[in-house]
Chain A
Amino acid sequence: MTDYTNSNETHCVKNCFSCPECESMLSIRVKDDMVEDRKGKKFCFTCTFCDYSYNSEVILKPKSVWNIVKDEHTKSVKDVISFNKAKSYYTNLLNLETLTDQTVRDLKLGKEVSSPKSLEHLKTYNLNIDNADDTDKLKYLIDHMEFEKDEYQNEPHQNSGVSILQNPFPVPRKLITRETMKCCDCSQVLQLPNEEMISTKFICKFTASDYIPTINISPMINHSWPTWQKGNFTLLVNIINPLRSSVTVTLSSPSSVTTGNGTINTTIPVSEITIGPYNDKDHPIRSIPTPFLTKSTKLSRAEIVMRTGRIGAQSTNQIESLIEKSDNWGCLPIELTLEDTCDIRIPIHVSVKTKLPDAIKSLKLSRPELLFGFWTVIELPCNRD
């Protein structure tokens, strides 16, 4: 949801303005006022969060609030330009008036000056003279200043109501929009929002999180996190399948990983598991791996009792007792051997194989199945608080 043109011209056509100081919304009130014995309206902008406020001039002809602010801003910019011209004129004039040497007097009388020494002297007064041949430039400067003076005197400040030092102007709220995304290579639409204005639904959406299994690490069931000291530890890698088809997941990791504090040896005794499909009609608790169940709620407690009983009945040996899978999730053990106390940081490669989901099948690709892999990093700090 971003401004699609990144320009200041796309703004809300209604009365949505934000504070130039804190970006909060401005509340707008209208007051009746008089100017030159004529009735008009005055708009008062007040920030809802900070102390910012802004009062418009008295408006005699009806126009939109956006146009009122825009016109006053334009007038203010003209005033600032005019002010800067006057300031520059008087600064230069002061510099010249303080030059009492013969050079300036000669210049003002129209005499040609060629002495480099005099020009060097003029440079100390910040006049723009680059070299000894620029005497014409100086003459032009003096003439130009006279012109500016005339211009300034002919155009006095007509908009005395607008102060140059006034608060910054209210900022109209920029428009936001929804984005359609396409593949850079084949122009396949990857994300197409619904036509309804404030809907968050999508006609077409290819998001990685809808396809990539979620990988989590946990201690063994009914165990708490160990303290990472020298020794052997067994943890569980929990894999949750988001797809509506079963997936075969294969895990692999380097046999030893060196971290800042020491070396960690890793073993994945059973590296492959086939996990069933996700079914959104099932109760959500069926999608939660057993190690994450808590004893805080009745439902969770009952589920723990049921699942641990089932594991006990099914297991035949120690490793098998650690492997668990249900509807759309599965757990695989990972064994760590630490040589010293250290933060654990282990890269694991996950390769996934499944049949093509319907959304991808409709693209009529030649591939018979979806096969991809990705790296994930298990990070477990030494002190888990």
Chain B
Amino acid sequence: MEWIETPSGNRISVSSKLHNKENIQIKGNSTIGPGVELNALENEVSILIGKYCYLSENCHITPPLLKPGVYGQFKMGNYTIIGKDCILKAAAIGNRVVIESDCKVDELAIIYDCCIIRQGTIIPPKMIIPPFSEVRGVPGKNFKVSQLGTGYKRTIEIEAKELQILGM
């Protein structure tokens, strides 16, 4: 597996696809895994990724569709971990968020800080997930938002740092 390492500490897999990469901002110490697809817009900075973020294999990130033909910005905070095969079209994902594998975050959803999105969860469009929440399930079937302990704030941060240092 080949990686490109930038001076700011970012590790970007050679097999990842960054469309309009001049309009993607990554703060530093973040990892873009193999097969990840970042679809930035042509004219403006539309994908912003914080520090110590970890994007696992085959994630797809697209800026949210505001109205037909008009796209907004996708913002991701610091210390955020995205699992394999996730599709993200959210407006914002906060700091210290863990999104486990096979999740889908629909258009214009907002996930605030310190949240855990469990495996296979679908977050519907425009949904707002409050801070310190654990989310699981599919809307209409078993969707559930429950409270997350405040101790996870530190735990997620350490996990994100370790992932950046240790890799997969």
Contact = CB atoms under 8 A, between A and B. Distances in A.
Interface string B123-137: 011111011110000
A210 B151 contact: yes
A241 to B, nearest CB: 13
B22 interface: no
A287 B159 CA distance: 12
A298 B167 CA distance: 10
Interface in B72-93: none
A287 B140 CA distance: 43
Given A1-B132, A202-B150, A208-B151, A22 B165 contact: no
Taking each of B96, B107, B128, B139, which has the highest tally of chain A beta carbons within 10 Å of its own beta carbon? B139
B113 A200 contact: yes
B11 to A, nearest CB: 7
B100 interface: no
A297 B131 contact: no
A25 B155 contact: no
B150 A22 contact: no
B162 A284 contact: yes
A294 interface: yes
A22 B151 contact: no
B166 A209 contact: no
A152 interface: no
Interface residues of B, number: 35
Interface string B108-146: 000011100000000011111011110000011001000
Given A1-B132, A22-B143, A24-B125, A294 B167 contact: yes
B165 A285 contact: yes
A202 B158 CA distance: 18
Contact of A288 (B5, B114, B166): B166
A284 B147 contact: no
Nearest to A294: B166
A198 interface: yes
Contacts of A25: 124-128
Interface in A45-75: 48-50
A21 B161 CA distance: 40
Given A210-B154, A285-B165, A48 B113 contact: no
Taking each of B147, B162, B168, which has the highest tally of chain A beta carbons within 10 Å of its own beta carbon? B162
A306 to B, nearest CB: 14
Contacts of B167: 294, 296-297, 300
Given A200-B114, A209-B155, A49 B131 contact: no
B150 A205 contact: yes
A200 B153 contact: yes
Majority SS at the chain B contact face: loop
Contacts of B114: 200
Nearest to A21: B140
B129 to A, nearest CB: 10
A293 B125 CA distance: 40
B154 A209 contact: yes
B149 to A, nearest CB: 8
Contacts of B95: 200
B133 to A, nearest CB: 6
A297 B151 contact: no
Contacts of B147: 1-2
Given A49-B139, A209-B154, A209-B155, A176 B130 contact: yes
A155 to B, nearest CB: 38
A207 interface: yes
Nearest to B154: A209
Nearest to A300: B166
Contacts of A49: 106, 124-125, 139-140
Interface in A263-294: 284-285, 287-288, 292-294
A293 B166 contact: yes
Contact of B131 (A19, A200, A209, A299): A200
Contacts of B153: 200
A297 B166 contact: yes
Nearest to B9: A299
Nearest to A303: B165
Nearest to A179: B147
A207 to B, nearest CB: 4
10 contacts: A24-B124, A48-B106, A200-B96, A200-B112, A200-B114, A210-B154, A292-B166, A294-B168, A297-B166, A298-B5
Interface of B: 5, 11, 95-96, 106-107, 112-114, 124-128, 130-133, 139-140, 143, 147, 149-151, 153-155, 158, 161-162, 165-168
